[in-house]
Each structure stands twice: as structure tokens, then as C-alpha cells.
């Protein structure tokens, strides 16, 4: 067990923020090694990315705290995700820190999430240490990247630090800057208060809350309570991340660590809640908004007998991912399943992979839908503010694309190079208002395609606005295929209906009866396709005979096919269904 807490004046709480794949986790590795927290060569690369899916994809999907000793200073680092879907993790991190390291890849330059993270840190009035990474690479453009940071953010050239997270070059200079430029924490009260910035569920110990202590101290056996849930418990352990959980005698003001609460329901210890001592008069700390799911999928077991396993697996995942929302759903075509809310498409993909790898279940996800609202008999859809960061020569193509995607240009700013810089490398930042549903229809991939992969995007939900929408249903022989129903814009109905029925015609196998595929909107059939039946030659064995006998055989065949249509259950092969749902 470690000794008592570090004096507040020697504590530095900071985060590393950056665009995805700019080297945050690699830089964290070097910081851990230089401070002696871990030994180089004795740990896996990107040590703080403990999730196997993070390692497989090479991206951070979960914030990760760690404590380091640098001389007489205690440094609490929180490594953050870079992908848009997990930006709420960054906001939670910033609420617990006194400063940030803004990391930019010298081979890619400033990107969309770089700008977003800079603005978020500015809103919190946090000191920002600008760092250019990957200077060891042959294709690095450190001077150009430095100029971008000066022009965009107003940094002085002297304060920008050039490092190689891979080799460790100049990382010691970054550590010195963290101690000098990031202020120590302060406190307002003497009684214990801590903000929960993350939580995990342990089968044996209950909820383990990751906290930033703002005031007072907490120790084992203290009686605590949670502001929002009114839940009460007795602390069974406290400690720090170094990088594993290490028990301590106490946690005091300014420190980041964990509190083992013993609570068995993670919903009673929500992220953003304040922990205080029982019967104290402490006030609640400013938290942060609970992340609101914006993308909804129907999640079904591929085998109906696995429904119970899927239910248990989703419940287990929700214990460690409070952003998931899960409700029961029933499909006449797929049976019992769940309507699950996610933060975005990547979040849904990560959860699907976790279900497969951690729980041994491969679920079927229906087409994604956004969260619509009803107000005074009007349908409202979510709008987003979409920021696109793109080289100047691709602006025309991006604008044409966004116009087709119902975008409304609100602002366009060029990063003006100084007189000595290459005018062809000028960067444009375009800001659009656009329906959030455009993300689901693939605008991110479209933007990458139009810009030859050079553009990056960031977005945030703006508000809800009235939309002219309709529900398009797909029927096969008058049987509703409910999992293929979707909400569409009325001015796109004809095109989408024809596209859907034609594709289903291509994918469905022929049967012994005719299959009529229809797209129906508000009671009207908008598009129709037909798959002819296999024709069995019932007269093949007849070498002669009168016409009456032949007609009887043909009539019998006709009646049989009619009964087959009425009694047959419409079946869509899994391969065809996957293709339709993922289209």
C-alpha cells in the first residue's frame, strides 16, 4: 500500500488530446518509461489501450488514467480517444484536468479533431501545450505543421515542442513543460467531494468509480453517498492507476484514482455524479451531460435460441458502457430482439465486435435509424454542425457533395499561409448545418473519396428541425418484412423504393411460386418487382392423351402453387439479409 498523498502544489493533472492515429498512446508509453513507471521492452506497445479491439484497430476507444512520478512531482495523465464517436470521453477528461497536451502528427498536419479538441480546451480555460509528433519519419513536415498551428491557434513558434513518441526524442522537454505550464489543482471545501469520470463493474467488488478528488479526502471504510442516485455505501478500497490498480491509504484533493464502492448496480454510480461523505453539506460538483445515443439498431440473435445469451451479454456490456441504451423489440420476421442506442456507427461496430469476441455471440444488426421526435404532429430530425477540414484544391468537390446531402454552408475559412509559404497547401475549414442522418448514409466515406482521403471531419449535434419524412415498408407476397422498413425523405421515395425492390429481386432465390416484391409508402405502392417461379413440367411424362387430362394436371399444379404461396413462410437467406441491412 502506498503512503499518504502528494502535496497539491506538486500534482499535475493533464490529458493528451489529438486527432485519431496521431500518436497519443505511443507518447503515453514514452512518458511512462521516462518516468520509470514501466520499463521499456517489458510491456506491450500502447500499454494504456488494454481493450483487445483497441489494439487490433490501432485506435483508442476508451479513456485511460495513469499516475507517474517525475522527480518530486506527481503527474496524472488521462489518455483519450481521438474518434468523433467517443468525443464525450474527451469532455469528461477535460473536466478532471488542469491542462492538455495538444498533439499533431507531422506527417498529416492539423486535422478536424485537432481543431475540435483545441476549442474544447479553450472553453474550459485550460493551458494548452502544443506538440508536433513523428518528427523522426522521412515524410514528416514539422515546419509546415508548426506554421499551421501558429496560423490556426495563435501559438508562438517558440512554445511548440517537436517530439518523436516512437524514439522518445525531446519527450523529456515535454515533461518539463507539463510541470512548468500546467498549474497545480486547487480546492474550495474541506469536506470530501469527487467527480466520477468513468466506472467499471467488477463481479466481486461491485462498481469501481474512477474519480477526480476536488476537495477533502476519502479512505477505506468511509461512508459515502452519491448526489444523483442517493445511493449510499461503505468504501472498501481506494487507490491509484500506475498503470494497474494500486491500493493507497487515502485519496486527497487534487488526486486522480479509484474508489471501490461495493455497489452492485452501475446505474447508481453514473459517470458525472458527485461522491461525498454521508451527512455532509457539500454541494454537487458541475458534472457533464450524460451522452445521448443518436444511432439506433435492432439487435437480434442469428439463432432464436440464443436470445437469452444475447440479453445477458448486452446487460453485461452495459455495466461497463453507460452510454448504451437497451429496450426490448420484436420483429415478426426475426423474432425477439433489442433496440439498442449507440453514440455513433463506430460505437455500434465496437459493441458488435465485443459481443462476438468477449461473449461468443454474433448478432444481426438491422439498418441504423436516428432518433426522431414528434412535436405538434410534426416529425423533427436531429441536425448537426459538420466541420470539414480539407486542402484548398478539393473545396469545390466537397461543396457539391454537401449540397447534395442537404447541407447548408454556414462558414468557410482559409488558413492563410505567410508570404513565404506554399499557397497550394492552403487549408479550408468548411462548416455546414446538415441532417445527422447523412452520417448514416455514408457522407464521411463520400468526403474521404472526393478529397482523395485528405479531408477529415468533426461534428456535434445542433438541434432538431422539421423534416418531410415517410416510412417505407417492404413486402414480399403481402408479407411485411419489418426489418427492412425505414424512414426516408419523401422527395427520395421513388428512387429508394425502386432501388430496394430491384436489389431484393437480385438477392432472393427463385422458388416454386411467384414472389411479388413491393415498396409501400402511406398505403401507396411506389415500386414493384417480381421473381417468376420455377416451372415444373408436369406434362413431361405424357406422350399422348386428350386435352382434358392435360388441363386437369395444369389446374392441379396451379392450385398447388396457390396453396404454397398462402402457406409458405417468406424466407430471406442470411447472406441476402446482411447485404440489404448493410447497404
What single string gives the DSSP state of each residue in 423-457?
Answer: GGG-EEEEEEEEETHHHHTTHHHHHHHHTTT--EE
Report residue 539's pLDDT band, with 50, 70 and 90 as the boundaries. Answer: low
Asked if pLDDT for residue 11 goes beyond 80, the answer is yes
Report residue 44's pLDDT band, with 50, 70 and 90 as the boundaries. Answer: low
**Residue with more model confidence, 440 or 546:** 440
Closest of 15, 14, 21, 26 to residue 104, by C-alpha:
21
pLDDT at res. 114? 84
pLDDT at res. 289? 63
Phi, psi (rounded to 5 degrees) for 69: -105, 125
The per-residue pLDDT for range 391-438, each reduced to its tens digit, is 888 999 999 999 999 999 999 988 754 434 455 557 788 999 999 999
Please give the model's pTM, rounded to 2 decimal places. Answer: 0.73
pLDDT at res. 575? 66
Looking up cell 449540397, which residue turns up? 403
CATH code of the domain made up of 471-582? 3.30.70.2570
Same fold, 8-181 and 374-466: no
CATH H-level superfamily of 8-181:
P-loop containing nucleotide triphosphate hydrolases (3.40.50.300)
Report residue 19's pLDDT band, with 50, 70 and 90 as the boundaries. Answer: confident
Mean pLDDT for 211-226 is 93
Q: Which residues contact 407 (CB under 8 A, 6 or more apart)?
A: 386, 432, 433, 434, 438
* Domain 295-371 -> CATH class: alpha beta
Q: How far is CA 51 from the centre of its chain?
A: 15
pLDDT at res. 5? 58
Q: Which residues contact 19 (CB under 8 A, 6 or more apart)?
A: 82, 104, 105, 108, 111, 112, 113, 114, 117, 456
Per-domain residue ranges for the chain? 8-181, 193-277, 295-371, 374-466, 471-582
Q: Give the fold, CATH level 3, of 374-466.
A: Alpha-Beta Plaits (3.30.70)
Q: Give the fold, CATH level 3, of 193-277.
A: Elongation Factor Tu (Ef-tu); domain 3 (2.40.30)
Closest of 258, 133, 425 to residue 250, by C-alpha:
258
CB atoms within 10 A of CB 463: 10
The per-residue pLDDT for range 489-502, each reduced to its tens digit, is 999 999 999 999 99
pLDDT at res. 148? 87
Q: Compute the distance between CA of residue 143 and CA of residue 132 in angstroms, rounded to an integer.
A: 9
Mean pLDDT for 32-41 is 82
Dihedral angle, C-alpha 250, 251, 253, 257, nearest 10 °: 180
How far, CA to CA in Å, does 377 sit from each of 78, 238, 373, 382, 465? 46, 52, 10, 16, 13
Determine contact, residues 49/25, Cβ cutoff 8 Å: yes
Closest of 214, 209, 207, 210 to residue 192, by C-alpha:
214
Asked if pLDDT for residue 62 goes beyond 70, the answer is no
**Residue with more model confidence, 79 or 30:** 30
Direct distance between the N- and C-terminal alpha carbons of the chain, in angstroms, rounded to an integer: 55
Which 8-state DSSP code applies to residue 482? G
Determine contact, residues 209/269, Cβ cutoff 8 Å: yes
Averaged pLDDT score across all residues of the chain: 83
The per-residue pLDDT for range 306-352, each reduced to its tens digit, is 899 999 889 888 866 767 889 999 987 788 999 999 888 878 888 88
Amino acid at each position: 500500500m502506498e503512503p499518504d498523498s502528494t502535496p497539491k502544489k506538486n500534482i499535475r493533472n493533464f490529458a493528451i488530446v489529438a486527432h485519431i492515429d496521431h500518436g497519443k498512446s505511443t507518447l503515453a508509453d514514452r512518458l511512462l518509461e521516462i518516468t520509470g513507471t514501466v520499463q521499456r521492452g517489458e510491456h506491450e506497445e500502447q500499454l494504456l489501450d488494454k481493450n483487445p479491439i483497441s489494439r487490433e484497430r490501432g485506435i483508442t476507444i476508451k479513456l485511460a488514467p495513469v499516475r507517474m512520478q517525475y522527480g518530486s512531482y506527481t503527474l496524472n495523465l488521462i489518455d483519450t480517444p481521438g474518434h468523433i464517436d467517443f468525443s464525450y470521453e474527451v469532455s469528461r477528461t477535460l473536466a478532471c484536468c488542469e491542462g492538455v497536451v495538444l498533439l499533431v502528427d507531422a506527417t498529416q498536419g492539423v486535422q478536424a479533431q485537432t481543431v475540435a479538441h483545441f476549442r474544447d480546451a479553450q472553453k474550459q480555460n485550460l493551458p494548452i501545450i502544443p506538440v508536433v509528433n513523428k518528427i523522426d519519419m522521412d515524410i514528416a513536415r514539422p515546419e509546415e505543421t508548426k506554421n499551421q498551428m501558429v496560423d490556426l491557434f495563435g501559438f508562438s513558434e517558440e512554445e511548440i515542442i517537436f517530439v518523436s513518441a516512437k524514439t522518445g526524442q525531446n519527450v523529456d522537454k515535454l515533461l518539463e513543460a507539463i510541470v512548468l505550464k500546467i498549474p497545480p489543482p486547487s480546492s474550495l471545501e474541506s469536506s470530501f467531494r469527487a467527480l466520477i469520470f468513468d466506472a467499471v463493474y467488477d463481479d466481486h467488488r461491485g462498481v469501481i468509480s474512477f474519480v477526480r478528488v476536488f476537495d477533502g479526502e476519502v479512505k477505506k471504510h468511509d461512508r459515502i453517498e452519491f448526489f444523483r442516485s442517493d445511493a449510499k455505501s461503505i468504501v472498501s478500497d481506494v487507490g491509484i492507476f500506475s498503470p494497474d490498480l494500486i491500493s493507497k491509504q487515502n485519496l486527497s484533493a487534487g488526486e486522480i484514482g479509484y474508489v471501490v464502492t461495493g455497489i452492485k448496480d452501475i446505474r447508481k454510480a453514473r459517470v458525472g455524479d458527485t461522491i461525498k461523505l454521508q451527512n455532509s453539506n457539500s454541494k454537487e460538483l458541475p458534472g457533464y451531460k450524460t451522452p445521448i445515443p443518436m444511432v439506433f439498431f435492432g439487435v437480434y440473435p442469428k439463432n432464436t435460441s440464443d436470445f437469452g445469451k444475447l440479453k445477458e451479454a448486452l446487460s453485461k456490456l452495459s455495466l461497463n458502457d453507460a452510454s448504451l441504451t437497451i429496450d426490448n423489440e420484436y420483429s415478426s420476421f426475426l423474432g425477439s430482439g433489442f433496440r439498442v442506442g449507440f453514440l455513433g456507427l463506430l460505437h455500434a461496430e465496437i459493441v458488435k465486435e465485443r459481443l462476438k469476441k468477449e461473449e461468443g455471440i454474433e448478432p444481426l444488426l438491422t439498418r441504423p435509424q436516428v432518433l426522431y421526435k414528434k412535436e405538434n404532429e410534426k416529425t423533427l430530425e436531429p441536425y448537426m454542425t459538420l466541420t470539414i477540414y480539407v486542402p484548398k484544391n478539393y473545396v469545390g468537390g466537397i461543396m457539391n457533395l454537401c449540397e447534395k446531402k442537404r447541407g447548408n454552408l454556414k462558414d468557410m475559412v482559409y488558413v492563410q499561409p505567410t508570404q513565404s509559404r506554399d499557397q497550394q497547401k492552403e487549408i479550408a475549414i468548411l462548416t455546414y448545418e446538415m441532417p445527422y442522418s447523412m452520417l448514416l448514409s455514408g457522407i464521411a466515406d463520400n468526403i474521404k473519396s472526393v478529397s482523395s482521403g485528405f479531408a477529415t471531419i468533426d461534428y456535434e449535434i445542433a438541434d432538431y428541425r422539421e423534416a418531410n419524412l415517410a416510412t417505407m415498408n417492404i413486402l414480399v407476397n403481402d408479407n411485411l418484412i419489418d426489418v427492412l422498413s425505414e424512414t426516408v425523405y419523401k422527395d427520395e421515395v421513388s428512387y429508394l423504393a425502386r432501388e430496394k425492390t430491384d436489389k431484393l429481386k437480385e438477392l432472393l432465390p427463385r422458388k416454386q411460386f411467384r414472389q411479388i416484391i413491393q415498396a409501400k409508402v402511406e398505403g401507396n405502392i411506389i415500386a414493384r418487382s417480381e421473381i417468376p417461379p420455377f416451372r415444373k413440367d408436369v406434362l413431361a411424362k405424357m406422350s399422348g392423351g386428350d386435352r382434358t387430362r392435360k388441363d386437369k394436371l395444369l389446374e392441379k399444379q396451379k392450385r398447388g402453387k396457390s396453396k404454397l404461396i398462402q402457406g409458405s413462410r417468406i424466407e430471406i437467406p442470411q447472406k441476402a439479409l446482411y447485404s440489404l441491412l448493410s447497404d
